[in-house]
Amino acid sequence: MAEPEHVISDPVVQNHNNEDEDELHERSDDVEYDDDEDPEFQKVKQRNRFQNFFRRIQHESVSIRVHDVSIKGNTKTKDSLIEAETASLKDASTIKELLAASGDVNFRLQALEIFDSVKITLDSGPPELPGTANVIVDVVETKSPLLGEIGVFNKGEASSSTLEGTLKYKNIFGYGDLWDGSLAYDCEHKAEASAGVFLPRFKGLETPVTARLFLQSQDWLKFSSFKERSLGLSLGLFSTRNHDVVYNLAWRTLTDPSRMASSSIRGQLGHALLSSLKYTFKIDKRNSPLRPTRGFAFVSSTQIGGLAPDSHSLRFLRQELDLRCAIPLGFYRSALNLGISAGVVFPWGSGFSSMPSPLPERFFLGGNLSPVCTLGGPTSLWGFRTKGLGPTEPRRQLQNNPAEENSDSGRDYLGGDLAVAAFADFSFDFPSKWLSAKGIHGHFFASAGNVDKLTENSHRNFSLQKFTQSFRSSAGVGVVIPTNLFRMELNYCCILKKFGEDRGNSGFRASFSSPS
């Protein structure tokens, strides 16, 4: 009947029994044909039959039952893996449903990244079983199982983009398993080495399972007088298009080589065990993550830490919400993007109200990212630097030299337990056809946000009015240059409101962001 490749569209029909075409011929347009017509007219007649056939399966329910699904071309990949991915084909009860299921199966097999090509052929079933179809799945396994990649990525908790290089080896054991090792580094002195495995159908589970060992080091001396180092394991327990559950187990160490940390930072130095479970719900109906012009997106992530009976275990609850909306305006591909995000973190356990929240789990606003791309929680504001606003505390002064008695050693940015951020972005095409063809466009933007402390009994003095009145804000205009790896913005930012210790200045800025 049909032979779809990659995307099921305009299939070539193969039907050796000709039941549907004959029936359609009798019903099509009430036109009678003479058997002695010339060959050209016979071609036109046959083409009309096929057109009528496709019109029928698009608008009517033509019943069918899948008799058999056969798999060809796999020499290393286990049949069980492909059979699990193609199981939905047998649920189809009409030709239209079968074509849709074939397209979905084709996409999922290609997404395994272990086949160079996938071809699905729909053919009529045995003559003695009318109304049935056979499905033939023909795969070509990849000739080069080793793959190297390099790219720029954003993580939800990051304040800058990360350059990451990855080496993958595919399908070692024939279960669609992907093994990889990666190195990552960003301009905020964060480095990470990790190795992991991805199993699309582990022990018959409906969702993939991932496991990853990582060693991470990050230098926050410039902003908060501490260095962070983590060694641990991350397990992806459940993952679908909209839901994700991850368990993290890590041994974390915070140090202060400068010996200048403020008292709040010094109170959190040392070793700690992170044992947490994180659930993320995500729905993204935008037409593009880099330049959305219509649609909406919503993300909610809930994390609970302290799932280990250990005195060093970090006990906290963390919740983040992010809502985006893109409204098309109808001229020059213009669109208005609106977004609001919020997050809160709080310790739990005996005496939790007087305890501080874990320092790395707090919220910090600012950084070299565009809020348009950073979907996942409050992270950045245009014009403010990394960890550039919020509660601060003076650093300890080292008076090794009497002449330095009155010197200022700076302040530590402590982050907040509550964060709220919002933005508006008006994007538009330039009149130049060349710029529009390259995707280069302009935008006006504005952003506002704030972070505050709730723990250590600070929630007793919290005032919503005071919190909203202390929002920092900025606005500006710029040019956006999209690439295959990231979104580059060349902006002029004007700081509309800031406070004494905030690190934000009006002027020209360049930012590099990839979808998160």
pLDDT, one tens digit per residue, over 449-499 is 999 999 988 888 889 999 999 999 999 999 999 887 778 899 999 999 999
* Helix 95-111, helix 39-59: angle, nearest 10: 80
> Of the ranges 21-25, 254-258, 432-436, which one carries the lowest mean pLDDT score?
21-25
* pLDDT (0 to 100) of residue 56: 67
Q: Which residues contact 8 (CB under 8 A, 6 or more apart)?
A: 2, 99, 100, 102, 103, 106, 120
**C-alpha neighbours within 13 Å on the C-beta side of residue 308:** 17
* pLDDT (0 to 100) of residue 29: 44
pLDDT digits (tens, 9 = 90+) for 376-399: 889 889 999 888 888 999 998 766
Report the DSSP pairing between strands 190-199 and 507-513.
Answer: unpaired
Q: Which residues contact 358 (CB under 8 A, 6 or more apart)?
A: 268, 272, 305, 314, 316, 345, 347
Q: What is the mean pLDDT of residues 259-273?
A: 93
- Assign 63 a pLDDT band (cuts: 50, 70, 90): confident
* pLDDT (0 to 100) of residue 27: 41
Is the pLDDT at 255 greater than 90? The verdict is: yes
Cα first-last separation, the chain = 41
Average pLDDT, rounded, for the chain: 84
Phi–psi pair at 329, nearest 5 degrees: -105, -10
Q: Which residues contact 436 (CB under 8 A, 6 or more apart)?
A: 333, 429, 430
Instruction: Report d(CA 38, CA 23) in Å as an integer.
Output: 23
Residue with more model confidence, 512 or 357: 357
3-state SS of 448-483? Answer: EEEEECCCCCHHHHCCHHHHHHCCEEEEEEEEEEEC
Is the pLDDT at 22 greater than 60? The verdict is: no
CB burial readout 154-184, b (16+ within 10 A) else e: bbeebbbbbebebebebbeebbbbbbbebeb
- Assign 18 a pLDDT band (cuts: 50, 70, 90): very low
* Helix 39-59, helix 19-27: angle, nearest 10: 100
* pLDDT (0 to 100) of residue 162: 73
- Assign 157 a pLDDT band (cuts: 50, 70, 90): very low
- Assign 200 a pLDDT band (cuts: 50, 70, 90): confident
Instruction: Report d(CA 147, CA 305) in Å as an integer.
Output: 36
Two structure tokens written together for 474: 């900025």
Is the pLDDT at 2 greater than 90? The verdict is: no
Say if residues 393 and 417 touch (Cβ distance below 8 Å): no
* pLDDT (0 to 100) of residue 7: 38
Phi–psi pair at 459, nearest 5 degrees: -65, -20
Q: Does domain 59-141 have CATH number 3.10.20.310?
A: yes
Q: What is the mean pLDDT of residues 162-191?
A: 86
What is the total residue count of the chain?
516
Instruction: Report d(CA 502, CA 507) in Å as an integer.
Output: 15
* pLDDT (0 to 100) of residue 79: 87
Is the pLDDT at 225 greater than 50? The verdict is: yes
Is the pLDDT at 284 greater than 80? The verdict is: yes
Is the pLDDT at 240 greater than 50? The verdict is: yes
* pLDDT (0 to 100) of residue 161: 64
> Of the ranges 141-150, 184-193, 356-365, which one carries the lowest mean pLDDT score?
184-193
Q: Which residues are paired to 215 by β-bridges? A: 193, 231
* pLDDT (0 to 100) of residue 37: 57
Is the pLDDT at 353 greater than 90? The verdict is: no
pLDDT digits (tens, 9 = 90+) for 51-61: 776 676 666 67
> Of the ranges 2-16, 93-107, 129-143, which one carries the lowest mean pLDDT score?
2-16
> Of the ranges 156-170, 199-213, 259-273, 352-366, which one carries the lowest mean pLDDT score?
156-170
- From 187, 175, 182, select the one nearest 147 (Cα to Cα): 182
Instruction: Report d(CA 392, CA 145) in Å as an integer.
Output: 51
Q: Give residue limits of the domains in the chain.
A: 59-141, 146-396+410-513
Is the pLDDT at 166 greater than 70? The verdict is: yes
Is the pLDDT at 12 greater than 80? The verdict is: no
Residue with more model confidence, 51 or 437: 437
Contacts 24+ apart (CB under 8 A), 497-500: 497/448, 497/471, 497/472, 497/473, 498/384, 498/389, 498/472, 499/389, 499/470, 499/472
- From 110, 117, 137, select the one nearest 200 (Cα to Cα): 110
Two structure tokens written together for 254: 């915070």
Residue with more model confidence, 97 or 262: 262
Q: What is the mean pLDDT of residues 279-307?
A: 95
**DSSP-derived 3-state class of residue 514:** coil
> Of the ranges 15-29, 112-126, 151-165, 352-366, which one carries the lowest mean pLDDT score?
15-29
pLDDT digits (tens, 9 = 90+) for 315-344: 999 999 999 999 999 898 999 999 999 999
* pLDDT (0 to 100) of residue 408: 52
Instruction: Report d(CA 290, CA 135) in Å as an integer.
Output: 38
Q: Supply angle C-alpha 288, 236, 188, rounded to 5.
A: 65
CATH of the domain spanning 146-396+410-513, picked from 2.102.10.10, 2.40.160.50, 3.20.20.70, 3.40.640.10: 2.40.160.50
Q: What percent of the chain is modeled with pLDDT above 70?
A: 86
Say if residues 278 and 246 touch (Cβ distance below 8 Å): yes
